[in-house]
């Protein structure tokens, strides 16, 4: 008989004024996203141009468990430096999406914006050590939220499912986390890069609305690291009919050697046959620490 998991609730306060968070203030444009090699897990930076220089302005996740390239905690800070008070959003509280922040030090000084979830005691304990952490209010679940750049580029995000309550026995963090889309108003048409965390594409209204608006697909960081987990017909239909850019890319953020069988690349090849595919394990072999998808 399987031993029941012990679960805890994230107890941080809600953010008081979401409109006061402006990670794109003063940027010239959104440049794209950077996907770091963290082995099995996700760590992503949204890149923007400010003063002619392209640099991270927002982080999504800061994980990496099996197969990570960080023998020492200081290696994490060198490879993925986070300036004090930079916004760090969490897609959900599974360990491979936040655990590098526990080993390094710089990410702990970020301003964390996170989903309220039932999760592991380790995650709840870590969240309680952060001085600057706030939860997305549950009243905003299912709503389209956004950060705007002065030039009209923007970041969409959505908490896709509700916190089931402090005394719930369990919660599927993949289905109650946060999904993001980074959108650039290019001269040739509006383009989007999808950052779903581990959530199926069909779960996020922001993705369906972008596809319905004929915003072209520039890139995808595959949900659940490219696994077949939670793969649905809704996901297939969304990707199958989504208008793509001439150059479009898919990134699988996973360890080359993992026990989960990630990624199932053929699923994406069937739906996006002209895409360029990247695996973080392969970029490490090539001597790279990250892969960029740029507008």
Statement: the pTM of the whole predicted model exceeds 0.85: yes
Whether the CB-CB separation of 180 and 195 falls below 8 Å is answered with: yes
Average pLDDT over the chain reads 94
Indicate if the pLDDT at residue 6 is higher than 90: no
Report which of residues 51 and 72 the model is more confident about: 51
Distance of CA 200 to the CA centre of its chain: 12
- For residue 230 the two structure tokens come to 């939670």
Q: Write b or e for each residue in 153-169: b if 16 or more Cβ atoms lie within 10 A of its Cβ, otherwise e.
A: bbbbbbbbbebeeeeee
State residue 147's pLDDT score.
Answer: 98
Q: Per-residue pLDDT averaged across 181-199, rounded?
A: 95
Is the backbone peptide bond immediately before 263 cis, with ω within 30 degrees of 0?
Answer: yes
98-125: pLDDT as tens digits: 999 999 999 999 999 999 999 999 999 9
Distance of CA 288 to the CA centre of its chain: 20
Whether the CB-CB separation of 59 and 82 falls below 8 Å is answered with: yes
State residue 3's pLDDT score.
Answer: 66
DSSP letter assigned to residue 14 = B
CA distances from 16 to 95, 113, 133 (A): 26, 11, 11
Burial class (CB in 10 A: 0-12, 13-18, 19+), 150: exposed
State residue 39's pLDDT score.
Answer: 94
47-66: pLDDT as tens digits: 999 999 999 999 999 999 88
Residue 228: which pLDDT band, with cuts at 50, 70 and 90? confident
Query: What count of other Cβ atoms lies within 10 Å of the Cβ of residue 20?
Result: 7
**Distance between CA atoms of residues 49 and 64, nearest Å:** 27
Phi-psi region of 281 (alpha: psi -120 to 50; beta: other; left: phi over 0): alpha
- Taken in order of first residue, the domains within the chain and their CATH numbers are 21-294 (3.60.15)
Measuring CA to CA, which residue among 23, 24, 43 is closest to residue 33? 43
Measuring CA to CA, which residue among 290, 255, 281 is closest to residue 67? 255
Lowest mean pLDDT among 113-117, 166-170, 193-197, 208-212: 166-170
Measuring CA to CA, which residue among 155, 138, 162, 173 is closest to residue 60? 155
Whether the CB-CB separation of 141 and 159 falls below 8 Å is answered with: yes
Indicate if the pLDDT at residue 41 is higher than 70: yes
């Amino acid at each position: 008989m399987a031993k029941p998991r012990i679960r805890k609730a994230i107890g941080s306060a809600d953010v008081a004024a979401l409109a006061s968070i402006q990670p794109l203030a003063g940027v010239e444009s959104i440049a794209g996203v950077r996907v770091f090699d963290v082995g099995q897990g996700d760590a992503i930076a949204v890149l923007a141009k400010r003063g002619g220089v392209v640099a991270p302005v927002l982080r999504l996740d800061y994980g990496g468990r099996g197969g990570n390239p960080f023998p020492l905690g200081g290696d994490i800070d060198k490879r993925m430096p986070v300036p004090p008070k930079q916004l760090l959003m969490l897609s959900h509280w599974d360990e491979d999406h936040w655990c590098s922040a526990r080993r390094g030090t710089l990410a702990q000084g970020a301003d964390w914006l996170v989903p309220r979830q039932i999760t592991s005691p380790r995650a709840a304990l870590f969240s309680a050590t952060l001085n600057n952490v706030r939860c997305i209010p549950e009243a905003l679940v299912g709503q389209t939220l956004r950060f705007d750049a002065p030039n009209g580029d923007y970041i969409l995000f959505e908490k896709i499912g509700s916190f089931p309550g402090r005394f719930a026995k369990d919660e599927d963090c993949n289905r109650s986390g946060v999904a993001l889309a980074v959108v650039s108003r290019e001269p040739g048409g509006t383009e989007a890069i999808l950052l779903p965390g581990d959530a199926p594409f069909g779960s996020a209204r922001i993705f369906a609305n972008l596809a319905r608006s004929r915003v072209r697909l520039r890139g995808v960081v595959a949900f659940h690291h490219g696994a077949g987990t939670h793969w649905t017909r809704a996901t297939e239909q969304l990707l199958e009919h989504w208008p793509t850019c001439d150059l479009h890319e898919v990134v699988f953020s996973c360890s080359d050697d993992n026990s989960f069988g990630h990624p199932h690349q053929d699923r994406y090849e069937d739906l996006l046959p002209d895409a360029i595919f990247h695996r973080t394990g392969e970029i490490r072999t090539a001597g790279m620490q990250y892969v960029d998808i740029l507008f």
